[in-house]
Amino acid sequence: MRSTDFGDINHLNECVEAYPSSPAYARLMQELDAIGLAARVSQQLLSTKRRATTPTAVGFGRQYLSLLVRQVRTSVINPLSYSFRLAVTVGIMLFSATVWLTLGTRDSAQIYGYIAYLCGVLQFAALVGLAAVPQRVIQRAEAINQRSNSMYSAAAYVLANFTVDLLLLFVFRCVLCALAPSGC
């Protein structure tokens, strides 16, 4: 629905301008004041550049922690984000090692297979990062909506996501390197 769907745009503008001095607005502010949100909502309603100028309700640290917890939960619950990637990579790694390499030998006849194994496993580990694309796309839509309502800052969002990537990929690489250090 667009603003022109209401009919005469000039009439709509008059309504918007008159709204802050109306009894309805006073009642709304009174109710919001009771729950401590009056200042924030008032600023949002009257601002023309809403997201750029409206302060968030809580500080950066609180935003960061909340996003961090949410991102960890999302990543653990959704198998596509990390567990699927790890399982597939380890499966390919073990499959390749047992099928194409004679384990325990350092025969120069198998050097090409050995190099292919190292290269393939590494590149596959990076490639399966694509499995997280659907989740990222959904997160993007959510983040745009939530940031439109001034729930958190862009810096808090990026930092929280990066922290989770840092921690979970650390676990990821520990598992890979513990299972087949030569291969990863």
Partner 1 sequence: MLSTCVWFWLLGVPSEAWRFFLISTSVWLMLLSSESFLHALCWSVPYTIPALGLGVVMFGFNAVLAGFFIPISQLGWWYRWAYWVDPIALGTNINWVAAFTNTSWTPSPNFPTGLTGDQILGFFPQSEIRIWVNVIVLLSYIVVWQMVLFMFVRFAGLARK
Per CB under 8 A, residues contacting partner 1 are 49-52, 94, 97, 101, 103-109, 111, 115-116, 118-119, 122-123, 125-127, 129-130, 132-134, 136-137, 139-141, 143-144, 147-148, 154-155, 157-158, 161-162, 165-166, 169-170, 172-174, 176-184
In the complex with partner 1, the residue whose CB is nearer, 30 or 123, is: 123
Min CB(16)–partner 1 separation in Å: 15
Residue 94 neighbours by CB distance under 10 Å: 14
Q: What span, in angstroms and rounded, lies between the C-alpha atoms of 133 and 140?
A: 10
Give buried/exposed letters for 22-57 (b at 16+ CB in 10 A, else e).
Answer: eeeeeebbeeeeeeeeeeeebebeeeeeeeeebebe
In the complex with partner 1, the residue whose CB is nearer, 26 or 111, is: 111
Min CB(117)–partner 1 separation in Å: 9
Tokens standing for 182? 């030569």
In the complex with partner 1, the residue whose CB is nearer, 26 or 174, is: 174
In the complex with partner 1, the residue whose CB is nearer, 64 or 184, is: 184
Min CB(121)–partner 1 separation in Å: 10
Min CB(23)–partner 1 separation in Å: 28
140 SS3 class:
helix
Q: Report the length, in residues, of the chain.
A: 184
| Contact yes or no for 129/85 (Cβ under 8 A) | yes
Query: Distance between terminal CA atoms of the chain?
Result: 53
In the complex with partner 1, the residue whose CB is nearer, 69 or 115, is: 115
In the complex with partner 1, the residue whose CB is nearer, 22 or 182, is: 182
Min CB(149)–partner 1 separation in Å: 11
Min CB(90)–partner 1 separation in Å: 10
With CA atoms as reference, report the closest residue to 66 among 179, 162, 134, 157: 157
